[in-house]
Amino acid sequence: MVIQLANGVTTGVEYEKDDKGYIIVETNYRIYAYTDSNLKISLLALFSDLMFRFPNMVVASITRESVREAFKMGITGQQIVNFLRSNAHPQISSRKPVLPETVSDQVHFWYNERNRLKFFEGVFYGQFNSDDDFLSLKNYARDIDALIWFNDSKRLMSEVCFNTNFLFIWLQIWHKRKQQSH
């Protein structure tokens, strides 16, 4: 088939000149795009690795790295899947599902992989003078939803940064009250 395409022989393959649907996606993440439009090829290159370019056809591959680059540019996993579905070749668009589920699921998985961890700036507290000081601050941080982590036995805790000054001031007030009560 590659030799036929390179020679311009198109037996068995029909091209639509208006390119309404021009993409075939296989379960091995390979894309066959029946187009010679530089714009459409450039769109494919945003989220896939171009492997071969022939007259009227491009072969590309969707990889983790290629979609990650697209995600860095602000393209979502759903946009990639929608693009592939809406530009499916007419022979493929009549099938259900249009896009192999393994491909769409994997693109979504790669997209969601970016959001597995959330990072917060925080402050780590240790060396409390007493259990009362530790428990009081820990309970207060929990009440205002600032507590990230704690270890009761070692009297350690971590809280998110947006409340740092407030908790630090609260700790100073706590110490003043404690000194006044003695």
For 104, residues 6+ apart whose C-beta sits below 8 A from its C-beta are 81, 84, 97
Q: What is the pLDDT of residues 65-97, one digit of tens each?
A: 999 999 999 999 999 999 999 999 999 888 889
pLDDT number for residue 181: 73
pLDDT number for residue 158: 82
Q: Is the pLDDT of residue 50 over 50?
A: yes
pLDDT number for residue 6: 32
What pTM was computed for the model?
A: 0.60
pLDDT number for residue 44: 97
Q: Is the pLDDT of residue 12 over 80?
A: no
For the chain, the average pLDDT equals 83
Distance, CA of 119 to CA of 126 (rounded, Å): 21
For the chain, the straight-line distance linking the first and the last C-alpha, in angstroms and rounded, comes to 91
Q: What is the pLDDT of residues 115-131, one digit of tens each?
A: 777 777 777 878 888 88
- Specify the CATH number of the domain 122-181: 3.30.70.2610
pLDDT number for residue 129: 80
3-state SS string for the chain: CHHHHHCCCCCCCCCCCCCCCCEEECCCCEEEECCCCHHHHHHHHCCCEEEEEECCEEEEECCHHHHHHHHHCCCCHHHHHHHHHHCECHHHHCCCCCCCHHHHHHHHHHHHHCCCCCCCCEEEECCCCCHHHHHHHHHHHHHCCCEEEEECCCCEEEEEHHHHHHHHHHHHHHHHHHHHHC
Domain boundaries, the chain: 2-113, 122-181
